[in-house]
Structure 1
Amino acid sequence: MTPKAGDASARTPLRFGYGTNGLADLRVDDALTLLADLGYDGVGLTLDHMHLDPLAPDLAARTRKVAHRLDALGLGVTVETGARYVLDPRRKHGPSLLDPDPDDRARRADLLLRAVRVAADLGAHAVHCFSGITPPGTDEDTAWKRLAESLAPVLDAAATAGVPLAVEPEPGHLLAGLADFHRLRRALGDPENLGLTLDIGHCQCLEPAAPADCVRAAAPWLRHVQIEDMRRGVHEHLPFGDGDIDFPPVLEALAATGYQGLTVVELPRHSHAGPHFAEHSLPFLRRAAAASPLSNRSGEPSATR
């Protein structure tokens, strides 16, 4: 049963992770060891050439090795698929599920199918994905049709594997906000294993509601959470304290939903100092999670803003 909002005794303890796309200069084993040593509960594992390459030979054997390491370190995992150039060295995040060329769409869908298999073998709590940007000259109805058709076999595979597929609304993409997620959900017939990745910074960036309200609205479909600081109207992932988000109410709302997956720090442009930001992000989040939202109404500056 999901705890009722306001019932502090029923709060689900939050589990924090860090994304390997913010540790791109580290070997995957070094990244996992670092996160375990720092006290993280898990990792958002982006399938990329430096971290469990989904296209290189012997994927199943390499996945088993990572699974054993995760188990030894006591880390949970979400499989993320936002690698910039894993499919095409010239097109960032290309090809997408919206490309005019059906073979290109199939390449992206195949990556997601591989991710589902990896997630099942790792015991991951979700597979993350996104729609992509609408190609020039493509009308909206066509783009939505391509997205639904491309995701259908991935959803079937995810259902068979018992791993939720968690679609992320991404600023600038076809599926950019929470309303777009619900449009996709309806188009696909509301499949049980279609869930939502909620990026807290994206809520601050473009959603009309406050981030804490977005969490409450998304709760029934929430399967994965990404978190970072951000400013209104500017899609730039920032270290905690550099943006405008008031985090205690957000984490209070998240705990109240009963969400049991990972809340993963998403700082992909800070890999140059990834260990530093990993070290400093977890204490910030723990302080914010422990702080009462009421404490920020006293007129004193918040230490978690």
Structure 2
Amino acid sequence: MFRLGYNTNGLPFQRLGDALELVSDLGYEAVAITPDVGALDPLRLSPADVAEARKRLDDLGLSVAIETGARFVLDPRRKHRPTLLEASAAERERRVDFYFRCLALAVELGADVVSLWAGAAPEGEPGTLDELPEHPLLDRLASGLAAVLERARDLGVRVGFEPEPGMFIERPAGFRTLLGYMGPAGDDLGLTLDVGHCVVTGDLPVSSVVDEFAGRLLHVHLADCPRGRHHHVPFGEGDLDLVDALRGLTASGFQGMAAVELSRDGHRGPEAAADALASLHAALTEI
């Protein structure tokens, strides 16, 4: 069975140690850590902070994954920039270096998964890639990912790629195209599937997406979303069929982490985390 976790981007006002204890006390088995300016900033890591986090994770028995979606960690004025799609090779290299740092942090924390995404097209190109067989930005993206995957193989860490609404690759179909473009260089690339994103992009039912990509499914994000709107909301407030999504994960034999991601609810993080777990347990009883 997959392990239920919670993403620390939904607990931005707790110290990391306090957030880890809260997640464990609520009954989660895992935590997805988003290294950010407030906790484990990959650009300003303190060995003591890393060692303390590793000890806390071990003491609590939490499995861990590393998320790389911090909004302004690389540029305080441009959300999620630079990306692997930038025209400037130096800018793309900054993102690659950030991923290398996150991979190294994963090793130190005992995480075996690092999750990432493409980013938005930066130069006014069409915003997304779905079934297009070729696109000028594919080479930039594939080259950067190839370097990250090579480093990840050396470190024994897996990389999960997340389609994200509004980004260059926003649907599972775009992930499929990316794999075809990369060929053998992408053999190790797994899928991070956000079930709420499937609602936004109309890739339904979620169980069918899980079934199609079961062999690549590495990591899962759990949240509800309204149809057609990329807005993470608590379960029951959007259009996600949670029972269908969890049934699909169970039937696929997925054994990784399924982490709740409610960054918009950070102002009520403890309550949101508790409510989410209650909803998940209720939905699991229907499977």
Q: TM range, normalised to the smaller chain?
A: over 0.9
Identify the residue that residue 16 of structure 1 maps to in structure 2.
4
Out of 169, 173, 181, the position equivalent to 1:175 is 169
Q: Distance in 1 between matches of 2:45 and 2:112?
A: 25
**SS of equivalent residue, structure 2 residue 119:** coil
Is the CA contact (8 Å cut-off) linking 1:232 and 1:244 kept in structure 2?
A: yes
Match of 2:160 in 1: 166
Alignment of 1:74-93 (within 5 A): 74-93=61-80
SS, match of residue 135 in structure 2: helix
Q: Distance in 2 between matches of 1:50 and 1:42?
A: 20
CA RMSD of aligned residues (A): 1.4
Look up the equivalent residue of 1:113 and give its one-letter code.
Answer: F
Between the aligned partners of 2:70 and 2:258, the Cα distance in structure 1 is 19
Question: What aligned pairs does 1:72-221 form with structure 2 within 5 A after superposition?
Answer: 72-138=59-125, 141-190=135-184, 191-221=186-216
1:158–1:165 CA contact under 8 A, matched in 2: yes
Distance 1:255 1:204 in 2: 19
Deviation (angstroms), 1:14 = 2.9
Deviations 1:175-228 (A, max 9, x none): 111111112112222433210100000011103431121111121100100011
Q: Which amino acid aligns with 1:65?
A: E
Determine whether 1:64 maps to 2:83.
no
SS of the residue aligned with 1:188? helix
**In 2: Cα distance, 1:119 partner to 1:176 partner:** 25
| Mapped partners of 2:258, 2:45: distance in 1 | 31
CA distance in 2 between partners of 1:267 and 1:208 (Å): 21
Cα deviation, 1:239-272, whole Å, max 9, x if unaligned, reads 1110111211210110111111110001111111
Moved more, 201-210 or 186-195: 186-195
Q: Quick one: structure 1 residues 141 and 86, their matched pair in 2 at CA, closer, same or farther if it must change by over 3 Å?
A: same
Which whole-Å CA distance do the structure 1 matches of 2:125 and 2:3 have between them?
Answer: 40
Counterpart AA for 2:72: Y
Q: Report the CA distance between 1:122 and its aligned residue.
A: 1.7
2:237 paired with 1:242? yes
Q: Distance in 2 between matches of 1:107 and 1:208?
A: 32
Gaps of 5+ in 2: 127-133
* SS of equivalent to 2:187: coil
Identify if the C-alpha distance between structure 1 residues 62 and 193 changes in structure 2 by more than 3 Å, giving closer, same or farther: farther
- In the alignment, the residues of structure 1 paired with residue 193 and residue 45 of structure 2 have an alpha-carbon distance, to the nearest angstrom, of 32
Query: Is 1:40 equivalent to 2:28 in the alignment?
Result: yes
State the one-letter code of the partner of 1:63: V
Aligned ranges 1:44-55 → 2 under 5 Å: 44-55=32-43
Residue 138 of structure 1: CA displacement? 4.7
Residue aligned with 1:189, SS: helix
Gaps of 5+ in 1: 1-12, 293-305
Q: Is contact 1:168-1:198 (8 Å) kept?
A: yes
User: Is 1:290 matched up with 2:285?
Assistant: yes
Alignment correspondent of 2:226: 231
Q: Displacement of 1:171 after TM fit?
A: 0.6
Contact 1:177 1:207 in 2 (8 A): no
% identical equivalent positions: 44
Post-superposition offset of 1:95: 0.7
- C-alpha displacement of 1:62: 2.8
Q: Using the alignment, how far apart are the partners of 1:167 and 1:125 within structure 2?
A: 14
CA distance, structure 1, for counterparts of residue 265 and residue 45 of structure 2: 29
Alignment partners' CA distance in 2, 1:138 and 1:199: 24
- Given that 1:158 and 1:193 are in contact with CA atoms closer than 8 Å, whether structure 2 keeps it comes out as no
Distance 2:241 2:45 in 1: 45
Match runs of 1:22-33 below 5 Å: 22-33=10-21
Whole-angstrom distance in 2 between the partners of 1:208 and 1:128: 20
Which one has the largest radius of gyration?
1
How far does residue 85 in structure 1 lie from its aligned partner after superposition? 0.3
Distance in structure 2 (CA, Å) of the matches to 1:42 and 1:209: 27
